[in-house]
Amino acid sequence: MDPATTHASSPGDARTTAPRALATEAVHAGRDDLARHGLHAPPIDLSTTYPPYDSRGEAARLDAFAATGAAMQGPPVYGRLGNPTVARFETALARLEGTEAAVAFASGMAALTAVLLVRAAAGLRHVVAVRPLYGCSDHLLTAGLLGSEVTWTGPAGIADALRPDTGLVLVESPANPTLAELDLRAVAHGCGSVPLLVDNTFATPVLQRPAGQGARLVLHSATKYLGGHGDVMAGVVACDEEFAGRLRRVRFATGGVLHPLAGYLLLRGLATLPVRVRAASANAAELARRLADDPRVTRVHYPRIGGAMVSFEVRGDPHAVVGGVRLITPAVSLGSVDTLIQHPASISHRVVDADDRRGAGVSDRLLRLSAGLEDVEDLWADLDRALGERPAPTRR
């Protein structure tokens, strides 16, 4: 499925059945009903509870939710069951990813935890995963905090790693922080009937839509590009309706709900997602080109599909580079309008065993940069200064 096109037959209140471009869906998905209600901006519903006068009908609706986890029709009941503002964001994200549904959570890790709990409830606690992953995702699996067991393998070894109790295959492409890419169609083929979860945080639906390549589950740390301004924490899983029902039941039971204000900010963030990703990607590509030609840099990682992330290994002290920036922000996270830089071995992947970390290509000299929307010349001037003195040319 072409990432530039999505279909209005996906969830939501679309007023057309014709395919719409991604940029159009980013602006209108989840908002198609507003004009009919005399609104322009989506409303924010902050209620935690809603007054029912038909308690018998309410009981029947709760019974139906308990049985299937289907999104509740009619008036809301309680904030842990669902929220109208959050539902708008879920509808929009599902449309952008080309899935039947999406379920939002309080963070990306809460979203991944819910997926693992759904599979564990079916007696399927074994996970096959490919490194590198985001450090906390790696830690959640390796530490067995949810009673899960993980087998780490390369993409070619997925089929051989499957067991009768395998409930999930987990990959990230481009991967955090090395930006390694996988052939998602080939990975999905190796999974057989086991659900494939693709962490699509770095690519976003602007660059790829894993559901069209065989993934059953698409995970986002919505804190990053979907929000896009460094002011909201959230996670979301785009998937088919049957799995979404299971996720909603886990969310209701565990309470990992997304706040309505966060849902509103995410829906607003989606409207500019294509513009932001493409502009930041142009900056990243230019910085990657200059870094690749710089003698102070030994290796540059930049995905074939593009994107706003660049990783690079330096000859000198990476901590000095982080401490030397003035315009670029030295901070964990990514996907904001401003450019961020961090040292994965010290922060985002510190919880991963050092040998496992290095084995996955996360060297101690690796820096990860999330390009923002500043002028690229200003970014390069700051990075050039932070990299320090250029080595003297070698005399022959």
Catalytic center residues: 80, 134, 199, 224
CA distances from 210 to 19, 109, 214 (A): 19, 19, 7
Pairing of β 20-21 and β 235-239: unpaired
Cβ atoms of 327 and 379 within 8 Å: the answer is: yes
Alpha carbon 395 to chain centroid, angstroms: 48
Cβ atoms of 121 and 261 within 8 Å: the answer is: no
**Residue from 182, 181, 190, 242 nearest 217 by CA:** 242
Both structure tokens of 78: 């309680």
Both structure tokens of 65: 């939710």
CA distances from 391 to 175, 275, 322, 387 (A): 31, 38, 19, 11
DSSP secondary structure, 238-288, as one string: EE-HHHHHHHHHHHHHH--PPPHHHHHHHHHHHHTHHHHHHHHHHHHHHHH
